[in-house]
Structure 1
Amino acid sequence: MYRSTSTPADDNGCGWFHLSRARAPRPSHSGTSTARWVVLGAGFTGLAAARQLALRYPSDEIILVEAQEVGFGASGRNSGFAIDLPHDIGAHDYIGPLPTARMNLKLNLRAQEILTQQIKDHGIDCQLRPDGKYQAAVESKGLSVLEAYRSGLEKLGQPYEMIEGHDLPDHLGTSFYKKALYTPGTMLLQPAALAKGLADSLPSNVSLYEHTVITAIEQGEHIVLKHANGKIIADQLLLTNNAFASHFGFLPGKLLPIFTYASMTRPLTEDEQHQLGGKATWGVIPADPFGSTLRRTPDQRLLVRNSFSFNADGRAHQRYLDRAGRQHRASFERRFPMLSGMPFDYTWGGSMCLSRNHMSHFGSLAPNIHAALCCNGLGITRGTITGTLLANWLAGERDELIDFLLNAEGPNRNPPEPFLSLGVNLNLRWGQHRAGVES
C-alpha cells in the first residue's frame, strides 16, 4: 500500500487559466471502475500518454485521473515556451555533452511536431506562434553564458543570431539588456489553453475524471487507486504526476518540487504599445537561471516570471507568493520604466519537478507500475514526448529515442530532511541574490 503524504493545491491566481477558454470540467470519479490502463496526472505528460495508449489500444478503455482541473495545475502555469533546443541548466553552455544534446534535440523536435499536428487537427486555440526565443543578459556572468551558449549551438549545428544591446529595443522595446542570443525554433503558446484543448479532444476511449484526489495506491494482483468516493482498479498504472509520485513512495528522496512565480499585466493600450515599441509578441529567457523570464502575449499583456521556493509538500504557500509579487514589481520597473506603475492583473506560482543531476525517470517503477517523471523545466516538450513514448514502449515499440530514455541515468538521491529543505531554499535565495539586476 502506497499512501499519499500530500495532494495538489495550487493558488487561484493563474492568468493563463483564467484567460483561456472556459470549459466544464469532467465529473469526478465515484464508485468502482475497472480498466486495463490508468494514467494518474492530466498534465502534458499524462494527456500525451493517455492519447497514445488510446490510439495503440482502440478497444481498451483508458482512465485518466486529475486531482484538480485540467490546465489549473503545473502544465497551465509555465511561461509557454515549447523549446526545441537542449536546455541543460546544469551545463555551462546549456548544451552539455554533444551525443546527449543531439538526442534531446530529437526528442524536443518530435514533441513540437506532435503538438503542432494535434493543435491543427483539433483546432485548439492556444495562441501558437513560431516566434523563437531570446536569451538575454545584462551582467558579466550572463554575458559569459551567452558566449558559451553560442559556442554550444555552433557545435550542435543550430542557427542563432547574437543581438547587441543597441539593437534590442527594435526587438523587445526595452533597452534594459546588453545582449541577447536569439534562436528561431522555439514555439510560444498559451499553456493552459493548450492543456484544455488537448483534454477536450482526447479519443473517445479515454475517460477523464477531474477533481479526483487519489490518496492511496494498493499493489497486488491488480493496482487499486483509492479516493474519498470510490476506487479505480487497473491492470497497468502510469504515473505522470511528477513530484507527487514521491508522495506515494516512488523515487523517494529524488524529486524536487521547485516553485517559480509569475505576474501578468492588464492589456497594453495602443498608446502604451507605442511607448514600449519593439515586436508585437516575443519571449525572453534569462542567461542566468535565477533571472527573469518575460513574455509579450498576443493580447498585449506583459508577463514577468522569477523568484523560487522549494515547497516540499508540492503545494502553494501564500507567503512565497506575496514575496514573489514584490520582486515582480521591482523587476518590471527595471525593464519597463516607460510603463511604470502598470498594475498586474494576475500573480501566481507553479511547480517544476527537478532533480539534482537534471535527469528524468522513464520506465517501470514496480510490477505493472510505470512512469514518465521530472521534466526539469521543459514540461511542454519533454512531457509531451515522454508521455507519448512511454505509451509506445508499453505497446512493445522500441526505437532510438525510447532506448535513450530507458538507458538514462535517472534522478539521483537528495540529502535527508531537514537538511534538504534548508539547503535547497538557502541555495535558491543565494542564487537569486547573485543574479542581481538579472532577476
Structure 2
Amino acid sequence: MTKVTHLPADDTTCGWYHLSRSRQPRAAHSGNTSARWVVVGAGFTGLAAARELALKFPSEEIVLIEAQEVGFGPSGRNAGFAIDLPHDIGADDYIGDIDTAKIALKLNLAGQSFLRDLVQEHGIDCQMKACGKYQAAIEDRGIAVLDAYRRGLDKLDQAYQMIEGSELPEHIGTHFYRKALFTPGTVLIQPSALVKGLADNLPGNVTLYERTPITSIDYGDKIVLSHSNGRITADKLVLATNAFGMSFGFLKGRMLPVFTYASITRQLTEDEQARLGGKPFWGVIPADTFGTTVRRTPDNRLLIRNSFSFNPDGRANSKYLERFVERHRASYASRFPMLPNVGFEYTWGGSLALSRNHMGHFGQLAPNVYGALCCNGLGVTRGTITGKLLADWLAGERNELIDFLLAAPGPNSNPPEPFLSLGVNLNLRWGQYRAGKES
C-alpha cells in the first residue's frame, strides 16, 4: 500500500478560473467502482488521455479523477501560451540538435491542432487567438538571446520577424523593450476556460469525478485507489499528475515542483485602451528565462507573470503571493507608465513540473501503470499531445512521435536534501537577480 502524502492545494485567487465561465463541478466519487481504465489528473494531459482512450475503446468506461475542480489546478493557471516552436535553453542557438528539434516541433504542432479542432468542434469559449508571440528584450544579455534564437530558427527553417524597439509600440503599446523576435505560430488561450470546456465535452463513456483526492493506492494484480469516501479499482492506471507522480510512488527525486506567479488587472476602459495603443491582444515572453511574461487579453486586461518559488510538496504557500505581488506592481509600472491607476484584480500561483535535464516521462511506470509526467513548462501543447499519444500507444499504435517519446531518457535524479532545496532556491534567486530590467 502506497500512502499519498502530498495532495494538491492551490490558492483560491486564480484570475483565469474566476474570470472564465462558471460550471457545475461533477460529483465526487463515493462507494466502490471498478473500471478497466482509470486516469488520475484532469488537466491538459489527463483530459487528452481520457478522451483518446474513450475513442479507442468505445465500449469501455473510462474513469477520470480530479483532486480539485477542473480548471482550478495547474492547467488553468499558466500564462496561456500554446507554443509551437522548440526552445532548448541548454543549446547555444536555443534549437540544438536539428533532428530532435524537428520532432519537438511536430509534437507541439500536433498538440495545437488537437486543441484547435476540439475548440471548433465543441464551440469552447476560451479566447483562442492564433496571434503569435513576441519574445522581447531590454538587457544586452536578452538581445544576445534573441540573436541566438534567430540563428536557430534559420536552421530550423521557421518564420520570424525581428522588430526594433522604436516599432514595438505599434504592436504592444509599451516603449519598454529594445527589441523583439516575433514568431507567428503561437496560439494564445484563456487556460482555465479551455480546460473547463474540454472537461464538459468529453465522450459519453468517460465518467469524471471531481473533488476526489486519492489518499492511498495498492499496486497489486488490480490497482485499488482509495479516498475518504470509497475505492476505485482499475485494471490499468494512467497517471497525469505531473510532479504529484512522486506522491504516487514514481519518479521520486526526479521532478521539481516550481511555482510561478501572475497578476491580472481589471478591464481597461476605452480611454485606457486608447492610451495604451498597439494591437487588441498579444503575448510577450521574456528573452531571459527569469524575466516577465506579459499579455493583453481579448477582454482588455493586462497580465504580468514573473517570480518563482520551489515548493517541494507541490502545494501553494500564501507567503509568496504577498511577496511577489509587489514585484508584479513594479514590473507593470515600468512597462505601462501611461496607465498608472489600473490595479490588479487577481494574483495567483501555479506549479510547473520541471526536471534538471528538461526531460519528461512517457510510457510504463509499473505493471499496468502508465504515465505522461513532467511537462517542463509546456503543459498546454506538450501535455495535451503526450496524453493523447499515451492513449494511442496503449491502444497498440506506434508512430514516429510515440517512438521518440518512448526512447527519451526521462527525468534524471536530483541531489538529496537539503542540498536540493538549497541549490534550487539559490538558482531561482540568482536567475531573477540576473534578469535585471527584464524582471
Aligned pairs for 1:237-256 (under 5 A) are: 237-256=237-256
Q: Which residue of 1 aligns with 2:194?
A: 194
2:51 counterpart of 1:47: no
Q: CA deviation at 1:88?
A: 2.3
Q: Which residue of 1 aligns with 2:82?
A: 82
Q: CA deviation at 1:409?
A: 1.3
Q: Which residue of 1 aligns with 2:180?
A: 180
Paired positions, count = 439
Q: CA deviation at 1:240?
A: 0.2
Q: CA deviation at 1:44?
A: 0.1
Q: Structure 1 stretches (4+) deviating beyond 2 angstroms?
A: 87-94
Q: Which residue of 2 aligns with 1:307?
A: 307
- Give TM-score, length-normalised by structure 1: 0.99
Aligned pairs for 1:2-401 (under 5 A) are: 2-401=2-401
Q: Which amino acid aligns with 1:183?
A: T
Q: Percent identity?
A: 69
- Rounded to whole Å, the distance in 2 between the matches of 1:122 and 1:94 is 36
- Rounded to whole Å, the distance in 2 between the matches of 1:80 and 1:255 is 22
- Rounded to whole Å, the distance in 1 between the matches of 2:144 and 2:29 is 52
SS of the aligned residue for 1:248 comes to: coil
Q: CA deviation at 1:97?
A: 1.3
Counterpart contact for 1:288–1:435, Cα < 8 Å = yes
Q: Which amino acid aligns with 1:423?
A: G
Counterpart contact for 1:333–1:341, Cα < 8 Å = no
Q: Which amino acid aligns with 1:438?
A: E
Counterpart contact for 1:90–1:358, Cα < 8 Å = no
- Rounded to whole Å, the distance in 1 between the matches of 2:14 and 2:88 is 27
Q: Which amino acid aligns with 2:329?
A: R
Q: Which amino acid aligns with 1:272?
A: E
Q: CA deviation at 1:87?
A: 2.4
Unaligned residue ranges in structure 2 (runs of 5+)? none
Q: Which amino acid aligns with 1:9?
A: A
- Rounded to whole Å, the distance in 2 between the matches of 1:4 and 1:325 is 32
Q: Which amino acid aligns with 1:399?
A: N
Q: CA deviation at 1:22?
A: 0.4
Q: CA deviation at 1:279?
A: 0.6
Q: CA deviation at 1:89?
A: 2.9
- Rounded to whole Å, the distance in 1 between the matches of 2:47 and 2:193 is 13
Q: CA deviation at 1:217?
A: 1.2
Task: Choose 1-10 or 75-84, whichever is displaced more.
Answer: 1-10
**Once superposed, what is the RMSD of the aligned Cα atoms?**
0.7
- Rounded to whole Å, the distance in 2 between the matches of 1:138 and 1:195 is 34
SS of the aligned residue for 1:71 comes to: coil
- Rounded to whole Å, the distance in 2 between the matches of 1:386 and 1:87 is 17
- Rounded to whole Å, the distance in 1 between the matches of 2:332 and 2:96 is 32
Q: CA deviation at 1:418?
A: 1.4
- Give TM-score, length-normalised by structure 2: 0.99
- Rounded to whole Å, the distance in 2 between the matches of 1:2 and 1:143 is 49
- Rounded to whole Å, the distance in 2 between the matches of 1:90 and 1:396 is 34
Q: Which amino acid aligns with 1:397?
A: E
Q: CA deviation at 1:96?
A: 2.1
- Rounded to whole Å, the distance in 1 between the matches of 2:272 and 2:119 is 32
Map Cα deviations across residues 164-205 of structure 1 (whole Å, 9 max, x no partner): 000000001000000000000000010000000000000010
Unaligned residue ranges in structure 1 (runs of 5+)? none
- Rounded to whole Å, the distance in 1 between the matches of 2:298 and 2:115 is 19
SS of the aligned residue for 1:211 comes to: coil
- Rounded to whole Å, the distance in 2 between the matches of 1:32 and 1:90 is 48
Q: CA deviation at 1:426?
A: 1.2
Q: CA deviation at 1:323?
A: 1.2
- Rounded to whole Å, the distance in 1 between the matches of 2:403 and 2:3 is 32
Q: CA deviation at 1:354?
A: 0.4
- Rounded to whole Å, the distance in 1 between the matches of 2:12 and 2:87 is 29
Q: Which residue of 2 aligns with 1:434?
A: 434
